Structures are given as structure tokens and as C-alpha cells.
Amino acid sequence: MAIVAGVDIGNSTTEVCLAAMESAKVTKFYTSSIVKTTGIKGTLANIPGIVIALEEALKKAGMTMADLSEIRLNEATPVIGDLAMETITETIITESTMIGHNPSTPGGVGLGVGQTVSFSQLESLTSGEKVICVIPENIDFEDAARVLNQALARGIDLQGVIVRQDDAVLIANRLQKIIPVVDEVTMIEKVPIGMLAAVEVAEPGQTIRTLSNPYGIATVFELSAGDTKMVVPIARALIGNRSAVVVRTPQGDVKARTIPAGFITIFGSKGKADIDVESGAGKIMETVERVQPVLDVQGEAGTHVSGMLERVRQVMSELTEQHLDDMKIQDILAVDTFVPQKVQGGLAGEFALENAVALAAMVKTSRLPMEQIANQLRSNLGVKVVIAGVEANMAIRGALTTPGTDKPLAILDMGGGSTDAAIITRDERVLSIHLAGAGDMVTMLINSELGLNDFDLAEDIKKYPLAKVESLYHIRLEDGTVRFYEQHLPPQVFSRVVILKDGEMVPIPSSHPLDKIRHVRREAKKRVFVTNAIRSLSRVAPTGNIRHIEFVVLVGGSAMDFEVGDMVTDALAEYSIVCGRGNIRGSEGSRNAVATGLVLSYLDREA
Amino acid sequence: MLPDQSKPCILIYLAPHPSGKEKLREVQAGMEEEGIPYTVMQSNDTNAAALSYEGASKSKLGVGVGIGPEDLCIHYVKLPAQKPLFSLQEAGSPVQWRHFGYNAARLVKGIPFKDRPSKNESYETNHRDDLYQVVYRIVQKVLQESAQGHGEVKAWSKTL
């Protein structure tokens, strides 16, 4: 009897399957284990991870390294993916012209138009002037209200107030006239004085009407048609706010400019094609499909996209220690997205949503140095190490241990870095394909679209369901059900959207409502996984028609996700394909397919 | 003295002490800014946790604030009496008092609490940074001018 360990080194995890073999069949599957891959897949840095995974599996089976007769490694597919994102629009405010932020409690209501004056100037003004008062910090609300009321009494036409501190309601409540008051303007000292400005505060529960409308701004400032065109970005940035301030400065200007993103040239076996990145993800992917399989992708020299593709090549070349010229991009997945970016020149940390294209690129290198890993492992552990079979074949073998499957069968391996598909025909021929874009890209999209700037948090949002903390004692889950707690919840999570991660609650530090976060999460998954599922299965389908595939088994880390499996199953049902998450060996779920396949391939050698 | 039972509001229980008035003003301001009504009650008890719990249990909104000579608490009626939701175990600063007002109101409104400011309030540090920047710019400008034009820096360096 031989004890065999199958070891699958993936982009993000290293998995082990441990089994006992008699000459012709597997007598017993003992255990499996899964640990995080150390280093980049296919490099010597993987060894510590492999050893830990082996030890874990052996320990669970009550064995030691000495009991092992053979370790079987996969011939890891030499594909590595990388991600990049490029914004293709940009909003710049030259000179300060707008305050579009949304304090939680603005005061008063209405629209006011007048010259900006500083608080200290107020007493020197004569009656009849239309003014907007700017109040710096460290002025008490009672003092502010008293001085403003005195000014009103002297006949000054006070139209609105801009305040540094969170005092808007307090001041508005003490004024004799109802005027709009906007507060919490952090960079109040940058508000230009002596300029024409407009302040608008909407009724509670409503949004501003005038300053979010280009013609509204034109009316207020008496703009020409040409100028009105220029204020469109301001109006757009203010849509949905309850309060806003727009200041007109002589040289002030807001530009929404399109950054020339450049062309990419896709070299395919059916010819080459140029496509402008600005034309969006849809057009790019159409072009890729037209010329596929892709041999290489290049960007127009001196443009953003070129820099981005070069970066991918550079990183891959360094990792694999192969020449830059050998780095051919074999696939790209483009996804339209948007990025909330801080408006250049804003006064209260305003954001504008900029359009962007996210690209996942995949580089195929020549063989990874698996031989080195095998040798090193052999000398470290003193166990026979064999490199067995191609990853796709092993994955299919493992997938076929799922109850209820038979050949012909297609598998869809959704991992962290790439989406792989393979198909086995009745006569045992295997065809496989690797495409760019998988779990890591979903994380990137979530991170950018929610403006988190925190990859770990984005990863958690991707992996776990959400809930809203509705009181100190109960939360409402995504599906609307309510859960009660006997102990009160910590104040940090009160009224926040939280991630339910292994029994603990992680608050999401943003004001996005639960529905928005859920929508972004699900859309990101759909745009990457559903797109790639259809793309990859069409490529491996024997006739080129996805409808001719009957059975699909989902394997790999991302198939374990709580919703991706269902999304793909749902999408493929349209093509009348039976698709579901694998259950390797009837017990392992969608994990461990390759490792199990590696163990099973031991039998071929014996035969 | 009995609180007005008819009106839903936060109850503030105040133990009279020298700085009580200032604290009360900021707490009230915080609630007014958030738009939640309150009623102020006097009490002879000096423990803020007990004061706030009394407020919370009599308030129709279930939220009470206790202002004692040495501490400040926000309490919620469903919490255990000895465990107020927020408590400030020192005299504190006006900005901190104001935040107790905000957060008591936010508990009623069901929106996330404002982060509690540290003792060195954040406004002031901002201000100090800005001031530093202004001074830095002026010093730079003066140095540059003198280096370019007036030759005084040169003369000075020669003497060195």
C-alpha cells in the first residue's frame, strides 16, 4: 500500500489531498488541507506553503512525513494575471468655485444669492447690500446669530450663511429670517471673499433644484450660453445633494476633461485590430472575441493604456525572471467602472464620479520552474516528488468524482487570478483555456466603485453577506430577516452597514446604504464571472457553440462564494446547460479538484 | 419635580455644580443641531450614570443624559442600569460635551454616532497645522526675497 499526496499550487491557495493506494485502486482518501500559497505560484517561494499544507493533512490523518511514499505536484499552468485601472475622465476645478458637500444637518431652507463677505466685515456694511456671510471657526453660534440679526436689523439683505463648524441648525434657529445655512465646510478660509455666490438648502428629504441644474446656475449668475456649457460638471457634481454652495470667481473654471486613454492593438490569430479604450469595455471585448485567440496586446505608445500594459509585462517578467520581450499578453478582460475621485480644488472634500476602464491582463510565460520546486522539495523532505500531468486534465479528473457527473463534461475553474475552462470529450480528449479576470478583479471593482481605498475591506465585502444594524439589539440581514441579540451591540456598529464575518461584525466606514453596497458587489461579480463563464465555455465548446455543452461543473475558490455559483448557474441555464457547484469526492465541495485528480493519476502510472 | 409625560423628548438630568451650566449649554446645542427635543431636570444625585439612567427610564424616547460634577453619561432605557452607552469620566471640553448632545440625538434618530473627539479637539490641531503652513510660507518668502535681492544674506554668510 502506498500513501500518496496530491499537491495543487494555485494563485492564492495550496491544496493537498492524501490517499492510500493499492495497485489498481484508491483504498482510502484520508484527509485534505488548504493553506494560503506562499509567494507567486510556480516559484521556489511556494515550498513553505506546500510543507505546511502537507503537515496539516498528515497530522489530521495521524501520520508523519515518513509515511509518505510519493508527492505529486501539478504542472502548474504558466499563466499569471494582473490588474489595472485607468480613469478616462477627470473633473478639475481651477480656482475654488464650488462646495458640493452634504453636511448631515444644514440649516434653514431656500436659495440665496449675494456677494461673499467675511464675518468680521459684516458690521461695516451699509444697508441694502445682498450678501452671503462666511463664518470661520471658533465663533460661537450665539454670537454669530446675534451679529447676523443685527445686520438684518440694519437693513442688510443677508441671503445665506456658510459656516465652518457644525452649527447650521443652531444659527438658523436663532435668525429672524429663514435663509439657507451650509456648515462643516472644512476649508472655509479658501472661500473667496467679495465674489458672487449662491447658497441652496433643500427641505428635509429633498434634494437641491437650482444649483444641480445647469440652467439654474445660468439664471443665478446670468451666464451666456457658452458659460452655461462650462458649468455642466458643477451641476452634475451637485445632483442628489441636500445643500450646496457655488461661488463665481473671475478666473474660476471647472473642466470635465477626457483623458486621452489611447488605442490598444490586439494581435490575434485571425488578424489584428485597433480599438480606442474610450469606446468602452463592450467594444473592447467585441474586438477581442473577433480576433481570438489573442497572441499579444499592445498599447499606443505614450498613452495611459500603454503604460498600464507595460506595467503588467514588467511585473510578470520580474516574477518569472524571463525576458520582457517574451511576455505576451494572451487575454484581456475589460470592464466599465467608475471611480469616485476627489475633485481637484474642492473645498469640502467633494468627490466626482469619473468613468474608468478596469483591465485584467493575463500573461502566458514559457514553463514555470516546477522542476526546481520538485527538486528542492525532494531534498528537503526526503520523499519522492513527481510532476504529474497538466492542471486542466487533473482538474477534470477530480471534478468527475462529483456524484452525478459523466463524460463529456466541462469544468469552469474560477480562481483568484484567472478563469479556466476545460472540456473532456467521450473519447478522453481534453481541451482547455485560460482567461484573464477572476476574484481579484471583483475585489478591485468593489474597492474602487465604493471608494474604499482598502483592499482587505473590499475582499471581505466580496466574501461575506451584509447586514444593517437597526438598533442596539437587532440587525436586519440582506434578505430582510431580523436577528436579535441578548447583549447590546458595540456603539461603533450602531446604525451602520456591517459585514458578517465569521460571527463578528465589521462596520463599513462609508455612508453608502446597504442596497448600494450589495448592488455594487453583485454587479462586480456578474461582470467578471458571468462574462468569463460564457466567454471561456464558448471557446472550449467542440463546435464553438456554447449550447452544445451539456454538463458544467464549477470548481475553484471563487465557486465556493455564497452567490457566484448561483449567478453562473442562472446565466448558463439560458443556454440549457446543466451547471452546478462540484462536490469533489462527494465531500469536498468545489475545492480540491486538482489535488484529487493528481492522486487519481497515480493509478495511470501503475497500469 | 416630575418630567412632562406628554411630550416625547430626551431627558437631561443635571446635578447642579459650577460648570454645569456650560456643559448643559453644549449638550443642548448638540441636540438642537440634530433636531431632537429635550427637557432639562434638576436632581440632587451626583452620579452621572444614575442620573442618565433615571432620564432614560422616564424619557418617552428611552434616552437620557446625566450631567454630574465629574462625569457625563448617555443612557438607553434597554441597557443595564450600571452600564451607560457612553460615559466621559472627566470634566472634558466643550467639544466633547457637544458630541454627547449629538450622539444622544443620533441614538434617537438611528444614524451612526459621531466619532468622539480626543481631548485635543481636532479643529484646533487643524488650525495649528494651517498656522504652521502660513508661517512656513512667510518664512520661505522672506528668506527667498532676501536671498535674491538685498544681499543681506550674502553679507551675513560672509561674516560667518
Q: Which domain holds residue A548?
A: 404-582
Residues A395 and A419 occupy one common structural domain = no
At A458 the pLDDT is 94
CA–CA distance, A355 with A179 (Å, rounded to integer): 36
| Contact call for A471 and B123, based on CB within 8 A | no
Residue A189, chain B, CB below 8 Å: the answer is yes
Residues A117 and A222 occupy one common structural domain = yes
Amino acid identity of A4?
Answer: V
Mutation site for A-interface testing, chosen from B22, B28, B33 by largest number of A Cβ within 10 Å: B33
Residues A248 and A299 occupy one common structural domain = no
CB contacts, 8 Å: B62 with chain A: none
What is the residue-averaged pLDDT of chain B? 80
Question: Which CATH number characterizes residue A360's domain?
Answer: 3.90.470.30
Residues A242 and A107 occupy one common structural domain = yes
At B116 the pLDDT is 64
| Contact call for A170 and B32, based on CB within 8 A | yes
Residues A21 and A104 occupy one common structural domain = no
Would you tell me how many other CB atoms lie within 10 Å of the CB of residue B139?
10
All residues at 6 or more sequence positions from A5 whose CB lies less than 8 Å from its CB, including other chains: A16, A17, A18, A54, A57, A68, A70, A71, A72, A599
All residues at 6 or more sequence positions from A383 whose CB lies less than 8 Å from its CB, including other chains: A65, A68, A69, A70, A71, A377
Residues A426 and A451 occupy one common structural domain = yes
Query: Tens digits of per-residue pLDDT, A60-81?
Result: 999 888 889 999 998 766 666 6
User: Which of B34, B102, B111 is the closest to A495 by Cβ?
Assistant: B111
At A391 the pLDDT is 81
Would you tell me how many other CB atoms lie within 10 Å of the CB of residue A519?
13
Residues A167 and A316 occupy one common structural domain = no
Residue A105, chain B, CB below 8 Å: the answer is yes
The angle, 0 to 180 degrees and rounded to 10, between the axes of the packed helices A531-540 and A564-573 is 50
CB contacts, 8 Å: B113 with chain A: 491-492, 494-495
The angle, 0 to 180 degrees and rounded to 10, between the axes of the packed helices A370-381 and A47-60 is 50
What is the residue-averaged pLDDT of chain A? 86
| Chain B nearest CA to A586, separation (Å) | 46
Query: Which of A257, A291, A307 marks a domain boundary?
Result: A257
Residue A495, chain B, CB below 8 Å: the answer is yes
At A21 the pLDDT is 86
Residues A466 and A542 occupy one common structural domain = yes
Query: Tens digits of per-residue pLDDT, A422-457?
Result: 999 888 888 888 888 888 899 999 998 998 889 999
Q: Sheet harboring A328-342: ordered strands across?
A: A79-87, A351-364, A328-342
User: Which of A166, A472, A491 is the closest to B33 by Cβ?
Assistant: A166
At B125 the pLDDT is 45
| Contact call for A169 and B106, based on CB within 8 A | no
Count the domains in chain A.
4
Residue B6 has pLDDT above 70, yes or no: no
Residues A301 and A343 occupy one common structural domain = yes
CA–CA distance, A7 with A49 (Å, rounded to integer): 11
| Chain A nearest CA to B112, separation (Å) | 5
User: Which of B32, B86, B110 is the closest to A169 by Cβ?
Assistant: B32
CA–CA distance, A295 with A542 (Å, rounded to integer): 21
Task: Decide: helix, strand or coil at residue A423.
Answer: strand
For residue A596, give the nearest of A393, A395, A383 by alpha carbon.
Answer: A395
| Contact call for B79 and A473, based on CB within 8 A | no
At B155 the pLDDT is 33
Residues A343 and A376 occupy one common structural domain = no
Mutation site for B-interface testing, chosen from A472, A475, A511 by largest number of B Cβ within 10 Å: A472
Residue of A nearest to B127 (CA): A137
Query: Is residue A297 a contact partner of residue A332, using CB atoms and an 8 Å limit?
Result: yes
Kindly state the percentage of chain A with pLDDT values over 90: 39
Residue A283: all three cell numbers together: 467594444
At B158 the pLDDT is 32
* pLDDT-wise least confident of A5-14, A73-82, A215-224, A238-247: A73-82
Position A126 confidence tier, pLDDT thresholds 50, 70, 90: confident
At A27 the pLDDT is 80
Residues A49 and A147 occupy one common structural domain = no
Would you tell me how many other CB atoms lie within 10 Å of the CB of residue A129?
15
Residue of A nearest to B25 (CA): A142
Query: Which of A195, A230, A257 marks a domain boundary?
Result: A257
CB contacts, 8 Å: B85 with chain A: 472, 488, 491
Q: Return the HEC string of A209-248.
A: CCCCCHHHHHHHHCCCHHHHHHCHHHHHHHCCCCEEEEEE
Spans of all domains in chain B:
10-109, 122-159
CA neighbours closer than 13 Å in the CB half-sphere of residue A394: 30
| Contact call for B35 and A470, based on CB within 8 A | no
Query: Tens digits of per-residue pLDDT, A326-370?
Result: 788 888 898 988 887 776 666 666 677 778 888 888 887 666 678
Give the residue, A401 or A43, on which the prediction is more confident. Answer: A401
Identify the contact set of chain B against chain A, taking CB-CB distances under 8 A: 29, 32-35, 76, 78-79, 85-86, 102, 106-107, 110-113, 123, 126-127, 130
Residues A101 and A217 occupy one common structural domain = yes
CA–CA distance, A331 with A434 (Å, rounded to integer): 8
Residue of A nearest to B35 (CA): A169
Q: Does domain B10-109 have CATH number 3.40.50.300?
A: no
Q: Is residue A249 classed exposed, middle or buried when 0-12, 13-18 and 19+ CB atoms within 10 A define those classes?
A: middle
Backbone angles phi, psi at A208, to 5 degrees: -60, 150
